Amino acid sequence: MAIVGATGAVGEEMRLCLEQRNFPVGKLTLLASARSVGKRFPFRGEEIAVEELTHDSFAGVDIALFSAGGSISLEFGPSAAAAGAVVIDNSSAFRMDADVPLVVPEINPQAAKNPPRGIIANPNCTTIISLMALAPLHAAFGLEAIIASSYQAVSGSGAQGIRELEEQVKAITAGLPFTPKVYPRQIAFNVIPQVDVFTDNGYTKEEMKMLYEGRKILGLPGLKVSCTCVRVPVYRSHSIAITAQFSRPVDVAAARAAYADQPGIQVVDDPAERLFPVPLDTTGKDACLVGRIRRNLVLDNALDLWVVGDQVRKGAALNAVQIAELL
Ligand code: NAP
């Protein structure tokens, strides 16, 4: 098994997930850029040295977990597949390729079977966490439309996002000047309604991923989605406020019941006791949490809900390792 991008926020979490879930790894190869060669990371009581990613890195590798950005996946993913590895890719490079399955193991595990190009894509993190909450409701009521706003942590931008928030908090509290580098505006003590770049229709790429990827994963080509993605000064775990409209009448008790026995999602919903999920509740955890479930006051057959999940883990590394487990 190999991890490409092993020194990154997601790559490091992949290594942890493999160890914590006791995944049957024979040899683990850690790959990154030339900058990281020689860095060492622990795995099952041993230290593994990082090697430079090349087109020859994949001889003898059964499964290659890619998490080094879209351009690296496009360049090296096909080499890994040609060498006989199944590629599980965490970038957006292959997600909308008709011959590349897009998989959330709790929702569409069957799609992972026999990937035609030897590549399986991990969906966008906000999409995974949102669909973890929506798939059980879709089964109960028939999902037709989603209106959502996300509250996305800075670790969604990798190690550099965490650094930017830390540095700005320090500079502001010390009264020192600073220049935003990673985000278009100050992120400390602020929120920014831009995640990824804007497209021609006024939505960002991140917002459109929820539409395109949601349709593909749920097998609902007519699903309507309108989304506003917002970066917030939270270190880890994304939250999403969702209004979901269904084809059949909804009922709050039936919605809560729809989550019973569903793996990977738990209901935390007792507002009278101030019980609702917050990002710190899911940080470092596998399960997504859903709460604030209520009937929408504007639309027919619609529910409002609030879902939170660790986007480095269920939104990326854990989901990829779960796909590997399916294989
Ligand atoms: P990151 O912390 O910035 O890590 C990037 C990784 O890519 C590092 O290991 C880096 O190695 C490696 N890399 C960069 N250039 C390389 C090159 N030329 N050759 C080989 N390796 C190279 O980023 P991240 O947050 O982990 O994100 C990685 C991918 O996962 C991205 O596609 C991102 O969109 C996706 N993703 C991230 C999240 C999240 O919450 N962070 C969630 C879902 C999906 P060096 O250390 O050697 O530079």
CATH code, domain carrying 220: 3.30.360.10
Rg (CA), the chain: 20
Same domain, yes or no: 190 and 75: no
Residue % of the chain over a pLDDT of 90: 99
* CB of residue 74 inside a 6 A radius of ligand 1: no
Residue 259's pLDDT band, with cuts at 50, 70 and 90, is very high
Structure-token pair, residue 61: 């590798």
Same domain, yes or no: 137 and 89: no
CB crowding 64-93: b at 16 or more within 10 Å, else e: bbbbbbbebbeebbbbbbebebbbbbbbbb
Could you list the residue range(s) of the whole structural domain that residue 292 is in?
127-311
More confident residue, 159 or 229: 229
Atom index in ligand 1 nearest the CA of residue 156 equals 40
Same domain, yes or no: 86 and 180: no
Same domain, yes or no: 157 and 187: yes
Same domain, yes or no: 110 and 69: yes
Pocket perturbation via mutation, ligand 1, pick of 33, 150, 155, 182 by most ligand atoms within 8 A of CB: 33
Residue 257's pLDDT band, with cuts at 50, 70 and 90, is very high
The span from the CA of 22 to the CA of 298, in Å, is 47
Residues 6+ apart with CB under 8 A from 218: 107, 108, 131, 134, 135, 138, 143
The span from the CA of 277 to the CA of 256, in Å, is 15
pLDDT given at position 146? 98
Atom index in ligand 1 nearest the CA of residue 125 equals 43
pLDDT given at position 208? 98
Residue 172's pLDDT band, with cuts at 50, 70 and 90, is very high
Question: What separation in angstroms does the CA of 112 have from each of 20, 55, 322, 327?
Answer: 23, 25, 11, 8
> Reduced to 3 states, what is the DSSP secondary structure of residue 291?
strand
Place of tokens 């590549």: 119
* CB of residue 155 inside a 6 A radius of ligand 1: yes
The span from the CA of 262 to the CA of 133, in Å, is 10
Same domain, yes or no: 191 and 289: yes
Nearest CA to ligand 1 atom 38: 156
Q: Provide the CATH number for the domain around residue 18.
A: 3.40.50.720
Nearest CA to ligand 1 atom 34: 91
Work out the mean pLDDT of the chain and round it to a whole number: 97
Same domain, yes or no: 203 and 173: yes
**Whether the Cβ atoms of residue 151 and residue 239 lie closer than 8 Å to each other:** yes
Residue 170's pLDDT band, with cuts at 50, 70 and 90, is very high
Question: What separation in angstroms does the CA of 286 have from each of 17, 29, 184, 199?
Answer: 10, 24, 31, 32
The span from the CA of 241 to the CA of 227, in Å, is 10
Whole-number Å distance, alpha carbon 112 to ligand 1 midpoint, is 23
Nearest CA to ligand 1 atom 41: 156
> Model confidence over 121-168: pLDDT tens digits?
999 999 999 999 999 999 999 999 999 999 999 999 998 999 999 999
pLDDT given at position 119? 98
Amino acid at 200: D
> Model confidence over 25-81: pLDDT tens digits?
999 999 999 999 989 999 999 999 999 999 999 999 999 999 999 999 999 999 999
* CB of residue 309 inside a 6 A radius of ligand 1: no
Same domain, yes or no: 249 and 107: no
Same domain, yes or no: 111 and 136: no
* CB of residue 51 inside a 6 A radius of ligand 1: no
Whole-number Å distance, alpha carbon 124 to ligand 1 midpoint, is 14
Nearest CA to ligand 1 atom 31: 69
pTM for this entry: 0.97
Using a 10 angstrom Cβ sphere, with 0-12 exposed, 13-18 middle and 19 or more buried, the burial of residue 266 is: middle
**Structural domains in the chain (count):** 2
